[in-house]
Structure 1
Amino acid sequence: MADKRSWALAITVCVAGFLWVQADSITETPAGQMFVYELHREIFQSEFEPLHKLFGHIYNDPMVFKCNKERFPDLPRWLRFTQRDPYENGFLYGTPLPQDQGKNIIEIFVTNKRSYDTFRERLVINVGPPVKQFPYQAEFFIELREIEKVLPAVVQEEIKRDIQHLWGTGNLEFVNITSALDRGGRVPLPLPGYFEGVYVKLGSDRPFSKCMQRLQTTAHQRECESGGKLTGDCSTCTNPANCISWCRSELFDLSKPVPPAPVPKVGSGVLEWGGEFSPPESPPDRDFFPDYIVTVIVPFALALILCVLLAYIMCCRREGVVKRNAKTTDLQLYHHHTIQGNANELRRMAGNDRQNVDRPRQCLQPLLMAEQPMAGR
């Protein structure tokens, strides 16, 4: 009985492990070639709503993808992810190098923005050894494209056909696709007709055509620097959005071996004898009195003159109360001295106890009495 239970447990574990392996998506790519994996929203839509077709509902939910290497917070150094909008597919893309060979397990988390359900999937990328050698490589800049619009296989085939006609060979493979923003380009305005631009690099084992070899001439460089009309542009594009910028194209000839860097000479490890240390002589004596006069005496003298001038203006140039009263008429002085008394009298009259307030005095009576002698003169 115990043997049957152990066998059943073993079979269950094997079946569970088999199903778990089968649940992972496995893909392979050789080193040195462009790898693109598209995350289709339609495939994950059935994971969130498995019975939606039975009830006649077809959903088009926005989804957000997040990718990282298993047990790591980010992706491998050669792999990148992009998704422009939750209603668009996501792309994993990059070019693995020979030192990146091996198994890469990528965790893909999908979030449904309508129901906020989350689904997890694993993608296993097996990077193998290089299959083809590309000693001749060329990089072209497509100004009217964005990285999400170039990664689909259909668009890549369109670009490859145009480059095949320019190169004169059909043996071409994509080596790399990079957004201009990753090269230090500026973020375009969010308006129609503005694009970020994309760099595409293709490789082949066939040499460059005569038309492409013009990119390495000095005449081509002078024409690009002057900004005039280009005479050597022989590129064609069936789709205007795939037209390349001839001045921003570059050729890489890897067929010629690169000379190794010179090996540094190994010395004995002992510094050479430089003789006895001879300290510098003491500097000559310097008279700091002129500097003292310029930095201390002169500013102090100027400040003293300004203080004396300000004291003269504030103290000696004042008019004074006596001199001011002598120049003021008696009528104005009388009005000035009686303002405060009249104000206090008005406050008392405005109070609650009006019966105890004296009758208002004739304010103009003293003025009339003072004006009578003046009228008699």
Structure 2
Amino acid sequence: MAGCRSWFFYFTVCAVGVFGANAEIKFTIPVGRLFTYELMRETFQNDFEPLSKLYAGRLYDDAMTFKCNRQNYPDLPEWLRFTQRHSYDNGFLYGTPTSPGKSIIEVYAVNKRSYETARQILVIKIVPEKMLPYQAEFFIKLREVEKVLPSSVQDEIKQDLQKLWDTEALEIVNVTNALDRGGRVPLPIAGHFEGVYVKVGSEQYFSDCLLKVQSPGYQRQCSAEAKVKIPGGCNFCSIPSNCITWCKIELFDLTKQEPSPPAPTVGSGILESGGDFNPPESPPSRDYIPDYIVTVIVPLILAIILCLLLAYIMYGRREGVEKRNGKTNEIQLYHHHTILDNTDELRNMSGNRGVSPPLSTLPMFNSRTGERAPPLHSDSPTIPLIMAQHDPYSDTLPRK
């Protein structure tokens, strides 16, 4: 782990190997240095599988998920992050503290096979430390954050950067996933990675190779997105996956940064004597009548006009009047009266069944005019039952 590689990072593990994961682990880390802790699945597996099962020969390699939070809080501190790619991978807690203090982290491991849980407590004490004055950030394109956090990989990256910086007094300050900087998730294709930003610091000033990267000519090549030529003798990359992207190198000289302004002093809150309080002038009065007319009166008038127009269309312009041959026929009224007359006639027939049949049932009776034509005396079998009755309002003429 990162704390075992420098003199200022100590930790005390209380009986982890004997009592398993249910132990309290204490760390002491300085401000401005990378903290990394790997949650080993094997450690929690020992809690889920006691020694009795070990002798019985039933060993499991269960999938586990880790839940980490600050004690009595739902999430982690701002400077601390957690990552676990798959349930069969180890988890990592990593981050760079920015201020001294103490944090108690609770880690819960959930066994996906048996749904058992194991608990671990991390006590992280952060002590003040002087910030490294010269820092540089590098982008490693062919890496993911889970593959950079192991201590062995960090040592490999630091060895290459020590050659580039030309000093061994180099410390990793921070590691950031490219997705946290607005990067896009790559396609699930071999050879596509998320990318990682690695920030290192040192007491020694930047090397010539790093200063060449900041030259105007080199920056023009990067802005033109052309193939950048690496400065001579500066390509220190022992492993291809650890090679840096030269156009994304940023240098930070903290000695030239302006100090932050002091915090404002808090007064007593009492106005000093001898002065008069002058309240600010009230804003000018505003007339809201035009706004009321525009928002209320005008829409109300339009609604009334539309209602009157709709009432006129529905009740003043009723359909049912047709014009034929220049005369107006009230078709609806005619049908209505016809139905009433037939109804009255049927009622009279049912009341007096001894009377002669109604005229409407006779063969030569015109139901519209009430006229009765004499029957035709002819031997022709084609005599119609009813004479060709011509509608006086029809447009067609009867056949002769």
Q: Which residue of 2 aligns with 1:24?
A: 24
Deviation at 1:58, TM superposition (A): 2.2
Deviation at 1:155, TM superposition (A): 0.9
Structure of higher CA gyration radius: 2
Q: Which residue of 2 aligns with 1:33?
A: 33
Q: Which amino acid aligns with 1:222?
A: R
Distance 1:263 1:31 in 2: 21
Distance 1:60 1:259, change over 3 A: closer
Q: Which amino acid aligns with 1:67?
A: C
Distance 1:247 1:44, change over 3 A: same
**SS of the residue 1:53 aligns to:** helix
Distance 1:225 1:257, change over 3 A: closer
Q: Which amino acid aligns with 1:195?
A: F
Distance 1:42 1:148 in 2: 17
**SS of the residue 2:87 aligns to:** coil
Q: Which residue of 1 aligns with 2:96?
A: 95
Q: How big is each residue's C-alpha offset from its partner over 1:59-88, in whole Å with a ceiling of 9 and x where there is no partner?
A: 110001111111111112221111111100
Note if 1:140 corresponds to 2:142.
Answer: no
Deviation at 1:235, TM superposition (A): 3.4
Distance 1:190 1:116, change over 3 A: farther
Distance 1:262 1:157, change over 3 A: closer
Deviation at 1:231, TM superposition (A): 3.1
Q: Which residue of 2 aligns with 1:191?
A: 188
What's the % identity of the aligned pairs? 51
Q: How big is each residue's C-alpha offset from its partner over 1:190-216, in whole Å with a ceiling of 9 and x where there is no partner?
A: 412332211110011111111101232
Q: Which residue of 1 aligns with 2:128?
A: 129
Q: Which amino acid aligns with 2:94?
A: Y
Distance 1:134 1:29 in 2: 15
Maintained 8 Å contact 1:52/1:58: yes
- What is the correspondence of 1:272-291 to structure 2 with a 5 Å cutoff? none
Distance 2:263 2:82 in 1: 40
Q: Which amino acid aligns with 1:241?
A: S
Note if 1:45 corresponds to 2:52.
Answer: no
Note if 1:160 corresponds to 2:158.
Answer: yes
Of residues 22-31 and 137-146 in structure 1, the stretch that sits farther from structure 2 once superposed is 22-31
Distance 2:73 2:241 in 1: 38
Q: Which amino acid aligns with 1:127?
A: I
Q: Which residue of 2 aligns with 1:300?
A: none
**SS of the residue 1:45 aligns to:** helix
**SS of the residue 2:75 aligns to:** coil
Distance 1:260 1:96, change over 3 A: closer
Q: Which amino acid aligns with 2:168?
A: G
Comparing both structures, which one devotes a greater share of its residues to helix? 1
Q: Which amino acid aligns with 1:48?
A: F
Note if 1:179 corresponds to 2:177.
Answer: yes
Q: Which residue of 2 aligns with 1:293?
A: none
**SS of the residue 2:29 aligns to:** strand
Note if 1:105 corresponds to 2:104.
Answer: yes
Q: Which residue of 2 aligns with 1:54?
A: 55
Distance 1:63 1:206 in 2: 43
Q: Which amino acid aligns with 2:135?
A: Q
**SS of the residue 2:54 aligns to:** coil
Q: Which residue of 1 aligns with 2:81?
A: 80
Q: Which residue of 2 aligns with 1:230?
A: 228
Deviation at 1:93, TM superposition (A): 0.6
- What is the correspondence of 1:325-336 to structure 2 with a 5 Å cutoff? none
Maintained 8 Å contact 2:41/2:90: yes
Please give the root-mean-square deviation of Cα atoms over the aligned residues, in Å: 5.2
Deviation at 1:30, TM superposition (A): 1.9
Q: Which amino acid aligns with 1:77?
A: E
Distance 1:76 1:262 in 2: 25
Deviation at 1:255, TM superposition (A): 2.9
Q: Which residue of 2 aligns with 1:114?
A: 113
Distance 2:262 2:123 in 1: 42
Number of matched pairs? 323
Deviation at 1:147, TM superposition (A): 1.0
**SS of the residue 1:141 aligns to:** strand
Deviation at 1:27, TM superposition (A): 2.3
Maintained 8 Å contact 1:34/1:174: yes
Q: Which amino acid aligns with 1:128?
A: V
**SS of the residue 1:165 aligns to:** helix
Distance 1:55 1:259, change over 3 A: closer
Maintained 8 Å contact 1:133/1:205: no
Maintained 8 Å contact 1:188/1:194: no
Deviation at 1:247, TM superposition (A): 1.2
Maintained 8 Å contact 1:235/1:244: no
Distance 1:240 1:51 in 2: 46
Distance 1:107 1:169, change over 3 A: same
Distance 2:244 2:81 in 1: 24
- What is the correspondence of 1:177-326 to structure 2 with a 5 Å cutoff? 177-183=175-181, 185-192=182-189, 193-233=191-231, 234-256=234-256, 258=258, 261=261
Q: Which amino acid aligns with 2:29?
A: T
Deviation at 1:257, TM superposition (A): 5.8
Deviation at 1:269, TM superposition (A): 9.2
Maintained 8 Å contact 1:214/1:232: no
Deviation at 1:35, TM superposition (A): 0.6
Calculate the TM-score normalised by the size of structure 2: 0.60
Maintained 8 Å contact 2:174/2:200: yes
**SS of the residue 1:106 aligns to:** strand
Distance 2:260 2:158 in 1: 34
Structure 1's unaligned 5+ residue stretches are 1-18, 271-276, 278-319, 325-377
Distance 1:251 1:56 in 2: 56
